Amino acid sequence: MYNFRIWSAGALVSNVGTWMQRIAQNWLVLSELTNHSGTAVGVVMALQFGPPIVLMSLAGRVADHVDRRRLLIVTQSALALTALGLGVLVLSGHVTLWQVYCFAGIMGCITAFDSPARQTFIAELVGDEDLPNAIALNSSLFNLAQLIGPAIGGVLISIIGAGWVFIFNSASFIAVIASLMKMRVSEFHPMARERNPNGGFLAGLAYIRQKPELIMALVMLFIVGTYGLNFPVFISTMSITTFHGGAHLYGLLSSMMAIGSIVGALHVAGRATPNLSFLILSALGFGLVGSFAALMPEAALFGFALVALGATTQMFTTTANSLVQLSTDPSMRGRVMAIYMGIFLGCTGYRSWETVAISIN
């Protein structure tokens, strides 16, 4: 499939840059703008992941009614510009914490529109029959980027500083934008469009209420997302405050978790159509492994536990994504996936605000 191949190649390059920026951003906040403040990292995460909750109604409606390829070109270009702007501020020596907060909020707003469009766009590239495998393979590439990006980011931060990492990430978006522009539109698998332009968030909720499997999957995502999927906060703070490491350790631990994520995604790719039973088992596995990781007294043992945690996390999230999309009518996928991404990203933001409250008190 030509379109999926070039999309995957472009997305891989862009995702490597994105993971490099995440490492650089957290390092900038922890080590250069604050005195190792996990609170500040939590605020940044909340500002990045909170907007999908507020904007999910509008974002889902847009994803169901506009050309998703063109929408992605716009959102990816906007993300490139925000990375460039932050990089220029850092290199000029004028960056402040409140500016990082502002850029995080802007990126969060852009991501609110980008995420549902990107998730549902895969179905247009491969069709419903190959959708589970495509989602799993796409997740594998994303986590391959997570494996490569933090390692490169950690080295570059030590050598040339965080500012250039933001610049490199901005340039990496050229790959995914070019792939979108070079696609063969005639080979798309067009999805039905909802004719009612006013059917937004409430229409998505009404649709979900009629689907017990969607309710179960989203409730589980809410629970796991709220209480478990806050990895940047605990990995960065564990690296610095508990194990007294630097950028290299932070990058290494993030990469070890990515190794497990790739294994988990490939395991899901080899399975048949996703089902609720496997979703429940993967959620239980995530809870058990997470508890085990919390007890690790050394960085090496913690890293090995992160491999298993990455695998169970990816099994859960990839299965949930595939199950939700395949259980949803194509004309409603944008709105349902906006709610999905609002829960997925928004709960991470909530946990970040909770981290802030605990730290202050």
Q: Which two tokens stand for residue 313?
A: 């996390």
Q: Which two tokens mark 13?
A: 């390059």
d(CA 233, CA 165): 20
Q: What is the pLDDT of residues 55-108, one digit of tens each?
A: 877 887 888 788 889 999 999 999 999 999 999 999 998 889 999 999 999 998
- Distance, in Å, from the CA atom of 181 to the CA atom of 236, rounded to the nearest integer, reads 37
φ and ψ at 259, to 5 degrees? -60, -45
Q: Of 114, 119, 90, 99, which is closest to residue 47 (Cα–Cα)?
A: 99
Whether pLDDT at 155 is above 80? yes
Report which of residues 338 and 11 the model is more confident about.
11
- Cα separation, 150 vs 255, in Å, equals 6
How confident is the model at residue 327, as a pLDDT?
84
**135: exposed, middle or buried (C-beta count within 10 Å: 0-12, 13-18, 19+)?**
buried
If you average pLDDT over residues 306-331, what whole number do you get? 87
Is pTM beyond 0.85 here? no
18-54 confidence digits (pLDDT tens): 989 988 888 888 888 887 777 787 788 778 877 777 7
Which structure tokens are listed for 238?
Answer: 């564990």
Decide if 200 contacts 57 (C-beta within 8 A): yes
- What's the rounded Cα separation, in Å, for the pair 225 and 205? 19
| Type of residue at 25 | Q
Architecture of domain 2-360: Up-down Bundle (1.20)
Q: Is the pLDDT of residue 164 over 70?
A: yes
Q: Give the integer Cα–Cα distance in Å for 35 and 237.
A: 12
